[in-house]
Amino acid sequence: MAKLVDGQGEEAVVGRVGYWLDSGDFVSTADLDAEHIGEIGFPRDWPGVYGSSKALKQLVGKKGKCAGKKVGVVPLPDASQLSLVKGVQFHPLQSFSNAERAAKAAGIDIVRGWAVYEHLEKDVSEAFVAERFWWNSLADGTWVDFTPRPQMFQEMLLAEAVDGAPKAQEPLSGPQQKLLQHLLAQRFPSAAAAAPPATAPAAAPAAVTAPAPSAPKVTTKIQQKAKTPITPTAPAPQSLRELARRVQAGELEAVRQLDEKLRGDDELCVQIASEGLATPLSKMLGDSKHQEAALKLMLLLSDAGVSQSADVGTELIAGGAVPKLIQLLSSDSMQEMAAAVLGNLCHESPENQDKLADNQMFQKLVEMLSFPGAVAQEAAYAIWNLTVGHEKNSDAIARLGAVPKLAELLKSTSDIAQENAAGALMHITISQEARSVIGNAIPKLCELLQGSFEPEVSTQAAGALLNLASDSSEYAKQIVSNGAVPSLVNLVKDGPDLAKEYSAGALMNLMRGDMEVASNAAKQGAIPSLANLLSRPSGHSESLGALANLASGSSERQIQIYKAQVTRKTVALLGDEDVDVRRSAAALLMNLAPHAKIKERIVEAQALKPLAKALKDSDEILNERAAGALANLFNDHSANVHAGFQQAPEMIPSLVSLIQTPGLSEDAKRQGAHALAMLAAEDGPCDAVWQAGAGPPLLVLLKDMIGEAALGIMNLSWRWPQVKAELVKSGTLEYLMDMLKHGDDLAKEYAAGALMNMTAGSPDNAEKATAAVKDLSELLKSNAVQAAEWAAGALANITRSGQAAQETAIENGAATSIAALLPKVTANGMSLVVLALASLAETQGNSVSKALGAEAKAKLRDFRDSNNSDLQEYTKTLVDKLGPGFSL
């Protein structure tokens, strides 16, 4: 990060006298203080906003809080304007002294007033902020501003103050210093810089930032949860217990009377079920005279067990009911009830699902799916309960041909049949065999989502689609093409609780990696509906996951999600007991954090501490996403890095431990290394990262061609020579050169940056790295400008080792490539490309001269005439080396 200085370029220490911005120099129509102004920029609706916005008039109108008498848009100074102040140095956040120095050097007037920005986090033209600011006016009245600006401020809206906007010099206070450091970090983040030796300067090390890690794509499947047995709170009434004793004695009339008295009272059913009825009723199922009455009572008791979440099924199984029930599946008059009881016995009980696993029963239930009316309906119910979360049962039933029959049952006119069929399909699809033949059911399942069907039917259809889309892009496309997305969004918004949950999960899976589906879902209103789901007692994992996939790769949707006020809820859910909720919460934060203004809000919501805690969680997926979230929060944001280091320094050893965990996924290693690299981009955290022992595990990752490890090396090696020396001893240069040759594009870019910093100011390292010259010369042609700039920086250092390296670079087209790079070079890379040309010109001046055409020379003239003294000096050195025959 650029150093905080006063108007003379001296370090801004507390007590130094100068012009210092403080909280009183900022006026926000949103009532935000100076440290929490957030992202600001040029008014988006200019010039129309000047006449239409009440907020802007109240700020800088003639009677506004910062009353202005003249307003104008001021671009960056052009070459002729810069020539008026040639040789004068101007410094960031020092508009007052900059204006005074320009006035003294060029004999021009000072204009005192306000810089006016729009709050970009608010709606267009909703809120603005004024910052006390001075600039200059030329003799013809043209306003000109020489104060260095952030790259995003190509134009500035300035308002000359009615009262002159006075500012006095004063000693720098601690709060002022803190504010200025915050503004400096926000407006002028880390950038590559150059630190010149005495003659031909080397490209110097610098803290850098990297692209956001790839966004996690979240999927879910519905799984079975074990039932908790419920013991009756009171014994059954004496009269019913007497009937139960008569049933135990095998009395048929007692069975009928008990059935009559229990109907409509599930609680009584559960109470009496524990009175020893299971064995006698099971025996009666084998007696043709008793079996119908016994089966009816057994159905009544097991229905009550399902309704009351009581474990009636286990007692009935222990009493020997299952073999008799399987036999009754062949009875035309009783197969419907027998199937219903079998479904009840294993309802929400994985243990009982195992006990009922019988191929003869499976075969009969599948046959019954083709029978008319309620028989097929109850067979589907039994299959539904047998397959919930049970892959072995699902495989067995699918192999018997259940899926096409269940798909056909979806077309029934019975709501219950449709619900049972959809429920069975939802869970049987855990089987790969079932999934391979279920495609024909998708159109009907999508149709059942519509509001014209019963909510229970739509709920199960949403669940089936959720599972079908969980890991099949083919089925996901079919579901989308059958128009499911609007219906799913409607169910999230207005459906029953379980439908909201299943539909959110289905949307999550459908949007996985599909930007078009995500865009469509957002247009249908998915974001506010999913956000509302976070305020309900269930569905958090699915809602967070769907929002995470919506946020992936779209700044527009990221803003919409942020405005839905989910940030603090998401942070709170990082501590949820359910690991799936914690995973999805971390995923959403990771996918929101690439947005420059949202990452600040996430930190303000106190996310850093729980994310650091998540790094130690036993779940590796959560570890990976927490590391990715931290990497994105720190990326290109110095203030967040320091906040992380201050609030949760324990994250550093956790990240170091994470990247060396045996069996860790490659993605998790990348995210952990990326987060460490971002921490190493700042002074204090950089030391802590090294002291925590990050070097050795990063080198292991470097050998494995993980580019983020090179980024970590790049940032670690910029600070201390001894760190650089230790890394060299461990073979770092060789690993980096190998990555430069064989890595993917991003790895090559990071390797070039690391080589630049490893060789800066170190002739020995530069000489050892000469084998990289050919590959670095090739990287200069990259379409990724930063990669080419870093390659130039590394060449600037390495080719200073001698003529042979310079000749190799020229032979591989380095001079021509650098000349082609000049017109598109960024502010961070200007010094690097000039230094590279200067290094090559030591012995290859003719080749460099020939490579510099008219466009490249024009760019070099801009560098020569800029207000950057270092860049001016480097350009002068280059021209001198090219000799008297060369001219810009």
Other Cβ atoms less than 10 A from the Cβ of 104: the count is 12
Residue 5 pLDDT: 85
Residue 732 pLDDT: 95
The half-sphere exposure of 50 on its side-chain side, counting CA atoms within 13 A, is: 14
Residue-wise burial string across 58-96, b where 16 or more C-beta atoms lie within 10 A, e elsewhere: ebbbeebebbbeebbebeebeeebbebbeebbbbbbbbb
Residue 216 pLDDT: 53
**pLDDT above 50: residue 210:** no
Residue 113 pLDDT: 96
Nearest to 843 by CA among 811, 820, 888, 873: 811
Burial of 556 (0-12, 13-18, 19+ CB in 10 A): exposed
> Tokens 């059958």 map to which residue?
482
Residue 212 pLDDT: 45
CB 584 within 8 A of CB 569: no
The string of pLDDT tens digits covering residues 552-576 is 888 899 999 999 999 999 999 999 9
Q: How many domains does the chain have?
A: 1
**pLDDT above 70: residue 503:** yes
Nearest to 456 by CA among 505, 507, 483, 421: 421
Residue 393 pLDDT: 93
Residue 2 pLDDT: 55
Percent of the chain with pLDDT over 70: 94
**pLDDT above 60: residue 43:** yes
The string of pLDDT tens digits covering residues 801-813 is 999 999 999 999 9
Inside any domain, residue 44: yes
Residue 66 pLDDT: 92
Residue 226's pLDDT band (cuts 50, 70, 90): very low
Inside any domain, residue 609: no
**pLDDT above 50: residue 40:** yes
Mean pLDDT of 855-875: 90
- CA-CA distance, 266 to 263, in Å (whole number)? 8
- CA-CA distance, 681 to 767, in Å (whole number)? 26
**pLDDT above 50: residue 775:** yes
The string of pLDDT tens digits covering residues 331-340 is 999 999 999 9
Residue 214's pLDDT band (cuts 50, 70, 90): very low
Average pLDDT, the chain: 89
Inside any domain, residue 168: yes
Mean pLDDT of 312-326: 92
Residue 232 pLDDT: 54
Residue 231 pLDDT: 54
Inside any domain, residue 656: no
Residue 309's pLDDT band (cuts 50, 70, 90): confident
Residue 45 pLDDT: 85
The string of pLDDT tens digits covering residues 690-748 is 999 999 999 999 999 999 999 999 999 877 788 888 999 999 999 999 999 999 999 99
Of 107-111, 215-219, 378-382, least confident by mean pLDDT is: 215-219
The residue among 10 and 864 whose pLDDT is bigger is 864
Query: Residue 259, Cα to own-chain centre: how many angstroms?
Result: 57
Name the token pair of 224.
Answer: 């079975």
The string of pLDDT tens digits covering residues 283-292 is 999 998 999 9
Mean pLDDT of 821-850: 92
**pLDDT above 70: residue 215:** no
Inside any domain, residue 102: yes
**pLDDT above 60: residue 197:** no
Mean pLDDT of 439-455: 91
Residue 205's pLDDT band (cuts 50, 70, 90): very low
**Helix (H), strand (E) counts: the chain:** 51, 11
Mean pLDDT of 397-401: 92
Residue 95 domain boundaries: 17-187
The string of pLDDT tens digits covering residues 673-691 is 999 999 998 878 998 999 9
Other Cβ atoms less than 10 A from the Cβ of 453: the count is 18
Mean pLDDT of 774-799: 94
How far from 330 is each of 326, 335, 525, CA to CA, in Å?
8, 6, 50
Residue 204 pLDDT: 39
For residues 129, 133, 135, 137, the Cα torsion angle rounded to the nearest 10 degrees is 70
Residues 6+ apart with CB under 8 A from 298: 281, 285, 316, 321, 341
Query: Residue 797, Cα to own-chain centre: how many angstroms?
Result: 37
The string of pLDDT tens digits covering residues 464-498 is 999 888 878 888 999 999 999 999 999 999 999 99
Inside any domain, residue 179: yes
Residue 274 pLDDT: 84
CB 368 within 8 A of CB 374: no
**pLDDT above 80: residue 841:** yes
Inside any domain, residue 823: no
Mean pLDDT of 823-845: 92
- CA-CA distance, 593 to 587, in Å (whole number)? 10
Task: Tell me if residue 565 falls in helix, strand or coil.
Answer: coil
Residue 233 pLDDT: 56
Residue 120 pLDDT: 87
Preceding peptide of 216 cis, ω within 30°: no
Inside any domain, residue 78: yes
Percent of the chain with pLDDT over 90: 66
Residue 222 pLDDT: 47
Of 152-161, 435-444, 735-744, least confident by mean pLDDT is: 435-444
**Which helix (H) or strand (E) is 491 found in, with range?**
helix 484-494
Name the token pair of 755.
Answer: 């080589």
Residue 647 pLDDT: 95
Nearest to 545 by CA among 225, 223, 215: 215
Residue 264's pLDDT band (cuts 50, 70, 90): confident
Mean pLDDT of 429-447: 84
Other Cβ atoms less than 10 A from the Cβ of 455: the count is 15
Mean pLDDT of 581-597: 94
Burial of 198 (0-12, 13-18, 19+ CB in 10 A): exposed
The string of pLDDT tens digits covering residues 79-98 is 889 889 988 888 999 999 99
CB 337 within 8 A of CB 299: yes
**pLDDT above 50: residue 223:** no
